[in-house]
């Protein structure tokens, strides 16, 4: 998980298009190695997390330095820029770095919740049919939602990705309980991946309004989706 997030931050440098010299390759080399076949590398146990946290901190410090150098301003300044790409990049990087700082601090609530729930979350997400079934459901429902209309590629990726995550979160709720689901949602929200890396503001608006109404979900499932989509209006 942490490696995937780090790679996302690093690969986002290609979207900056500020300076040709902008590259975070050296930062990726500082990150701990990962075996994509090893579940404890994708969804690390607390013991694994504690072992790699020092290297993760070094890698993120490198990313902050590299992006600030490329943009000729620090990430806090980027967050208020008129350049949407800069805002997105700073949002993902700062959100993810702050999340990793908290995960690497054993006194924080998110670390404690992660420690209690990561085993069940990992088992649920790594189950052979979890991702295929959620992806099948998401693509099928989006196809029905847009039937007869021209599809927008960015909107498609946004809504399908959000639906897949909401579906997986529902599975985690059923298998692991509410705290595990809340922990998983918190991890995604704080990275700001859906908000800045996948979706556009219009896609998010459609996601929270037209699409959620189209789904006509039963109340429990709808509540899960509303929480994942961070909707302000809750059903009573």
CA neighbor of 163 nearest in space, from 92, 233, 82, 222: 222
pLDDT in tens, the chain (236 residues): 544 444 444 444 334 333 344 666 777 788 777 777 777 777 889 998 899 899 988 888 888 888 788 777 777 777 777 777 777 777 888 888 899 899 999 999 999 999 999 999 999 998 999 999 999 998 998 888 887 777 788 888 888 888 888 889 889 999 999 999 999 988 888 888 777 777 877 887 887 788 878 877 666 667 777 766 665 444 43
CA–CA gap between residue 15 and residue 88 (Å, rounded):
10
Residues 6 or more apart in contact with residue 190 via CB below 8 angstroms: 95, 96, 98, 99
Q: What is this structure's pTM?
A: 0.80
HSE (CB half, 13 Å, CA atoms) of 225?
A: 24
């Amino acid at each position: 998980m942490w490696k995937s997030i780090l790679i996302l931050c690093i690969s986002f440098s290609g979207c900056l298009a500020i300076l040709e010299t902008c590259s975070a390759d050296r930062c990726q080399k500082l990150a701990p190695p990962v075996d994509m076949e090893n579940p404890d590398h994708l969804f690390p146990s607390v013991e694994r997390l504690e072992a790699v946290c020092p290297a993760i901190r070094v890698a993120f410090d490198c990313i902050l330095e590299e992006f600030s150098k490329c943009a000729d301003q620090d990430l806090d300044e980027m967050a208020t820029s008129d350049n949407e790409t800069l805002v997105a990049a700073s949002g993902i990087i700062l959100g993810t770095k702050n999340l990793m700082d908290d995960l690497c601090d054993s006194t924080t609530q998110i670390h404690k919740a992660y420690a209690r729930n990561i085993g069940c979350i990992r088992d649920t997400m790594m189950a052979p049919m979890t991702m295929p079934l959620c992806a099948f459901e998401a693509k099928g429902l989006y196809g029905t939602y847009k039937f007869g209309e021209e599809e927008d590629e960015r909107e498609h990726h946004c809504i399908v990705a959000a639906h897949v995550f909401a579906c997986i979160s529902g599975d985690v709720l059923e298998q692991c309980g509410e705290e595990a689901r809340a922990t998983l949602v918190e991890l995604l929200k704080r990275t700001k991946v859906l908000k800045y890396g996948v979706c556009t503001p219009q896609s998010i608006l459609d996601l929270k309004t037209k699409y959620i109404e189209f789904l006509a979900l039963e109340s429990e499932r709808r509540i899960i989706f509303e929480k994942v989509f961070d909707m302000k209006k809750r059903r009573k």
